[in-house]
Chain A
Amino acid sequence: MNAPFGVVEFLHVAYIITGAYLLLLGIYALGMLVVAMRESRYRLRQEEVEDYDTVLASRYTIPVTIIAPAFNEAEMVVPAVQSLLSQSYREFEVIAVDDGSTDETLAALKQAYDLEPRQMFFKNVLETKPVRMVYRSRKDPRLTVVAKENGGKADALNCGVNFARYRYLACVDGDTVFAPDAILKGMALIAKDPGTIVGAASLFGVSVEPEKTVMKWGAPTTNGHLLGDFQHLDMMRAFVAYRQAWSQLDCMMCVSGGFGLWRRDVILEMGGFSPEFSCEDIEMTFRVHERYLREKRPYRIISLPGMVANTEGPKRISGLVSQRARWQRVVLETIWEYARMIFNPRYKAVGLLGLPYYLVFEGLAPLFQLLSLVALIVAIVVGLLGWPVYLALFGLMMFATAIPTTVAVMLHDAAYRDYRVRDLIRMMALGPLDLLLYRPILMWAGLRGTWQFLRKEKRWNKFERNRREAQPVAAYAS
């Protein structure tokens, strides 16, 4: 069959672009996996010889302020705060910031922690939306709840920074349940070099009902929910296989909002989290890199090994699309803002490796994916590609993309041995299905996010919370 005019030329270009893209992606993924394996082994050995009992009992641990912003998190906020108050760390405070929720978030906190309103004068270092009321817990003096007008997550974090008393900040999500040693593990690593390490990120899992892990942390299991498990694997791949490599290469590009440790003076020096972006976490990480590298100051942003938390992931495809579209938007916004760093040797690995990665494999990925999909469809329609070739190519891609997933599971298991064998099998079995069932959703979300970026949309697009029966408050707040 002869292809119509122009189609051959289109396919010609499409093959070259997608081929080059895949080759580059393959080389990059392979390189990152090798570096990640090295880093993973290094962190594992470091953990094995660390004397956590001594660190835990030490008078010289650095106190931490945990800031947990929450907006319409009525189901999750109590288990999340309870998991924070249950941290096995010597000195810390929890500041939960209710960012003008319209649901029962504040009421749930009041009931669980016996909050009483108090006027508190604080140092207004960072400009934020007005504070409505400050509450202190009669049950746990380490907890302060700040109710403020809605201003977005960055604004809520800045508000928490204004109330923070300690030198280190743990910026977390109000819909996330934390392992009891999350702060201890993070701070033990930071304390080895507190002068240089300004930020630390860590792996968190995704669960459709993370509150169920709060009562018995220690043996993570898969969700038993296909979409939840795909998201969990996605996160694991990103953190275990790639971010550890970034950490090793000194170009850690994102201290995630789910769990990020920052030195308070650094956040203040940067002028706080920016509400001008769709997400505050990537932008802050970029801003710190930009400033410190431009001024040639010594610093490090690291990734901690191990899973420290479980966050709520969307149960429905529409929720996932909405969430990932926002992530895509913020990636593009940040790349646009910091484009001057790309391939600029002054910005070292961040400019030469991290940002180009973000541009090609995150920012432009949906466009490449769309191009390859269209080319494939056109080639099939005009008869240039037979089904056997198509199936062979598709099968090849399925297994090729499953390998990073399997390596991520392998690295995690080698380090922590915490999943049951049947969960490991389930996770690895889902690997090849990722391309068929999960990637198309992400591609659609990416395209949508790109469109929203081009239209300069800034909406938060928070996904609708998964409906389930709320656990009784007493189950957590004992």
Chain B
Amino acid sequence: MDITYLPSRLEPLFLGALVITAILWIALSAYVVINRMLYDRRQRRLMEDASDLSEPAVASLPMIERSPAMRRALSNLSRQNVYRLVSRTDVPAALNEFSAAYATEYVGADQISRDASSDSRRRKWRRISALFALADLKAPDAHEQLANALADPDVDVANAAAVVLRRVGDRRAASILIAALRRGTPAPSRVATHLDQFPLPIHDLIRPLLVDPQPHARQWAASLLMRYPDVSELAAEVAEVADDESPSVRKAALLTLGAMASAVAVPTAERRLADPVSYVRSTAIRVLARHGTQETDDARRQAIASWIAPSLADSAWEVRAAAKESLVELGPTTWRKVATQLESPDEFARNSAAEVLQNLGMVDATVRELPTSTTEVVDVVSRALREGGSAMAGAAALRSAPETRGALEDLLRNHQEAGVQP
């Protein structure tokens, strides 16, 4: 068949296709516009009616009787859309509750319960909405259904159950979340997020996890107890797991002790500066720095700085970085402790000490007040400029006022033999 002349032969077909495609495009575009306008109108009404639900005049009425207008609005929605309203976290909570109450009337409590227990993948969003509804309605089987959902292998179902359990906010809900934390599914960080913001104090439920045989359970327990700094004996219990065999548990315990401002925090963190695992050492440094910055006794602060300063020569990058930042946080009075590292055999420790002294403002202050500076200070700053290299001298020159540039040159001249060029 010769297809060269095909386009001409197919003219009627092209015309027909053109008309159909144009109609399809127009219809689709009209659908988008009309759908949006209807949505806007419905949304406006729903929001207006939702504000009525919280009026004091109707507060004593059962939820479903608080707004006939809302009832009418919901009656225009499909069951699927009513269900969606129950679980949407971006609308007022009163609207969720009203929708849940309406859904009970619409489909019946039994059906909601059945939907909440369905393990069909295709109906998982219906299941999630039903879980929200059960919680809003305070249904007797809500906890059981939520516990099952939290153990579901589907990430969306399990995460939604965690959200709902925090909303439910009673001790039974907390126990279910804690059981999930022990189990390790869904992602423990997500479960911990909800336990950390749980509306009730639940330290007594978390505490037993400190001696759980599973390291991840001990780790999360140590971390979650941070919220309860005033509970007696808690710091001592957490301090015990700071020597746990698992490094992640040791790290969590250190962080919690640091946040609790407990008396045991400093000696524990000091001990852990020699931890074999680098992230535990860096955490210990940060905990010490946190305490040091709150310390009013300068001698204690100096002691903390002297513990941290040798970590500038640590074998792990993250520990060195933590030491640098922590020494800056401890403030300029600790400069002598930092300066000791300018003599370290480790080049990076010398560089880092110079960087810390720069960030403590020592270089700039000395440049500004060179005539009144002591020989010791001038010597330390000159050494720092030598160890910091030409880039540090260049940065200092850029920071300094024109009238003090001469002083900077004097400092650099002290070490000209070392080849430092601004």
Chain A residue numbers with a CB within 8 Å of B6 are 15
Closest residue of A by beta carbon distance from B350: A121
CA distance A395 to B155 in the complex (A): 47
CA distance A60 to B367 in the complex (A): 43
* In the assembled complex, A454 has its CB within 8 A of some CB on chain B: no
- Find out whether the CB atom of B395 lies under 8 angstroms from the CB atom of A117: yes
Instruction: Please pick, from B187, B196, B392, the residue contacting A119 in the complex, using a CB distance under 8 A.
Output: B392
**How close is A194's CB to chain B, nearest CB, in angstroms?**
7
Chain B residue numbers with a CB within 8 Å of A60 are 189, 192-193, 196
Closest residue of A by beta carbon distance from B14: A392
- Find out whether the CB atom of A119 lies under 8 angstroms from the CB atom of B388: yes
* In the assembled complex, B294 has its CB within 8 A of some CB on chain A: no
CA distance A384 to B128 in the complex (A): 61
Closest residue of A by beta carbon distance from B321: A165
Chain A residue numbers with a CB within 8 Å of B159 are 49-50, 192
* In the assembled complex, B348 has its CB within 8 A of some CB on chain A: yes
Instruction: Please pick, from A45, A53, A59, the residue contacting B125 in the complex, using a CB distance under 8 A.
Output: A45
Instruction: Please pick, from A48, A388, A407, A421, the residue contacting B89 in the complex, using a CB distance under 8 A.
Output: A48
What are the interface flags for A52-93 relative to B under an 8 Å C-beta threshold, 1 for contact and 0 otherwise? 111101111000000000000000000000000000000000
* In the assembled complex, B139 has its CB within 8 A of some CB on chain A: no
- Find out whether the CB atom of A392 lies under 8 angstroms from the CB atom of B197: no
Given contacts A119-B355, A119-B358, contact A410 B395 (CB under 8 A): no
Within 8 A of A (CB), among B11-54: 11, 14-15, 17-18, 21-22, 24-25, 28-29, 31-33, 35-37, 39-40, 43
- Find out whether the CB atom of B28 lies under 8 angstroms from the CB atom of A116: no
**How close is B89's CB to chain A, nearest CB, in angstroms?**
5
What are the interface flags for B348-367 relative to A under an 8 Å C-beta threshold, 1 for contact and 0 otherwise? 10011011001100000000
CA distance A417 to B89 in the complex (A): 16
CA distance A413 to B39 in the complex (A): 10
Chain A residue numbers with a CB within 8 Å of B196 are 58-60
Given contacts A399-B18, A425-B33, contact A58 B197 (CB under 8 A): yes
* In the assembled complex, A470 has its CB within 8 A of some CB on chain B: no
Q: Interface extent on B, as a size class? A: 35 or more
Main SS of the interface on chain B?
helix
What are the interface flags for A111-129 relative to B under an 8 Å C-beta threshold, 1 for contact and 0 otherwise? 0000011111101000000
- Find out whether the CB atom of B15 lies under 8 angstroms from the CB atom of A392: yes
Instruction: Please pick, from B32, B40, B88, B354, the residue contacting A409 in the complex, using a CB distance under 8 A.
Output: B32
Given contacts A49-B89, A193-B187, contact A424 B33 (CB under 8 A): yes
Q: Which of B18, B29, B196 has the most CB of A within 10 A?
A: B29
Instruction: Please pick, from A48, A57, A386, A400, the residue contacting B8 in the complex, using a CB distance under 8 A.
Output: A386
* In the assembled complex, A437 has its CB within 8 A of some CB on chain B: no
CA distance A60 to B156 in the complex (A): 19
CA distance A465 to B320 in the complex (A): 42
CA distance A134 to B394 in the complex (A): 11
CA distance A3 to B8 in the complex (A): 14
Chain B residue numbers with a CB within 8 Å of A407 are 28
Chain A residue numbers with a CB within 8 Å of B28 are 403, 406-407, 410
- Find out whether the CB atom of B163 lies under 8 angstroms from the CB atom of A54: yes
* In the assembled complex, B382 has its CB within 8 A of some CB on chain A: no
**How close is B238's CB to chain A, nearest CB, in angstroms?**
16
Given contacts A403-B24, A410-B32, A428-B29, contact A192 B18 (CB under 8 A): no
What are the interface flags for B204-241 relative to A under an 8 Å C-beta threshold, 1 for contact and 0 otherwise? 00000000000000000000001000000000000000
4 smallest beta-carbon distances between A and B, as pairs: A119-B392, A117-B395, A392-B14, A399-B21
Q: A118-B358, A121-B348, A384-B4 are in contact. List 13 more A-B contacts (CB 8 A).
A: A49-B156, A59-B196, A60-B193, A116-B399, A133-B394, A384-B5, A399-B18, A400-B21, A417-B39, A417-B40, A421-B40, A424-B32, A428-B29
Question: Which B positions have Cβ atoms within 8 angstroms of A?
Answer: 2-8, 10-11, 14-15, 17-18, 21-22, 24-25, 28-29, 31-33, 35-37, 39-40, 43, 84, 87-90, 125, 128, 132, 155-156, 159-160, 163, 166, 186-187, 189-190, 192-194, 196-197, 226, 317, 321, 348, 351-352, 354-355, 358-359, 388-389, 391-392, 394-395, 398-399
